[in-house]
Amino acid sequence: MRKVMLFFIVSAFCMMINVSVYGFSCFRCGSRLVCLGDSKYEVLDKCGAPTSESLIGVDNQSLMSLQEHETFFKIDEWIYDGRQSYKIRHQNIFRLIFRGNILKEIERLIY
């Protein structure tokens, strides 16, 4: 019995470390979840306007066809500060990275 309990405790601890190191796949805005793959429109609808918003880069992707064609995507950073938002009911600050219109990264910032 002790070994089983120890296994569950160690497993839970490892999962917490995994989430904190690699980021989050979702976070909560009020009663709604924002997840990787959501569009900017969906995030705005669920969370409202971000505390800050900035363009942090441009990424290009070559598409191979008869003619070489490059498509450029804006890389945007949105910050949601739970201390300043009525829709986010916790004291965390989240950094969201969009590539084009799609949410690609969610990171909880330490303040």
Question: What is the structure's pLDDT at 58?
Answer: 84
Print the SS3 string covering 56-107: EEEEEEEECCCCCEEEEEEEEEEEEECCCCCCCCCCCEEEEEEECCEEEEEE
pLDDT per residue as tens, the chain (111 positions): 666 555 556 555 545 444 444 467 898 887 889 999 999 999 999 999 999 999 988 887 655 555 566 678 899 999 988 766 555 556 788 899 999 999 999 998 876
pTM of the predicted model over 0.85: no
